[in-house]
Amino acid sequence: MPIRGIRGAIDVPEDSAGVVLASTRTLLIAIQQANPDLRTEDIASVWFTSTPDLVSIVPAPAARDLGWTLVPLMCTLEMPVAGSLPRIIRVLIHWNTDQPQSAIRHVYLGEAARLRPDLNESIDLKESVL
């Protein structure tokens, strides 16, 4: 079975633990809604990055809060680049799936949609748990 990458990003309104975790949960829920066959037991690993201006907490606990307790998670600092968007969390989910690459839906929310305008789709975010 191949491994596919799901990319996503979201802007965070302020650097506080609660807001960072809430924003990360929103992003992960939106990714699951955009990829309804995604199940946590099929996730090989997840890599989060955050911009250097987000220092209150790493994003991984948001995934744990959603039940991703057995999924290997990694958090790193996004490379600081002059002129880049502030307060951004990015995610790369490695998904064991037979779906073709063309079927994968990447999710960029809020100001982070400017990072990949070619991948933006209208997302009707519903409350759910992954």
Tell me the domains of the chain and their CATH numbers.
3-116 (3.30.1330.40)
pLDDT band at residue 1, thresholds of 50, 70 and 90?
A: confident
- The pTM of this model reads 0.90
Find the mean pLDDT for residues 117-124. 65
**Mean pLDDT score across all residues of the chain:** 92
pLDDT band at residue 130, thresholds of 50, 70 and 90?
A: very low
Residue 101 pLDDT > 60:
yes
pLDDT, tens digit (0-9, with 9 covering 90-100), for 26-71 = 999 999 999 999 999 999 999 999 999 999 999 999 999 999 999 9
Catalytic residue positions, numbered: 7, 64, 75, 78, 90, 108, 116
Provide the pairing of β-strand 43-50 with 73-77: parallel
Backbone angles phi, psi at 16, to 5 degrees: -135, 150
Give Cβ neighbours of residue 38 (< 8 Å, ≥ 6 apart): 6, 31, 32, 93, 95, 97, 130
Residue that the structure tokens 């992003």 belong to: 27
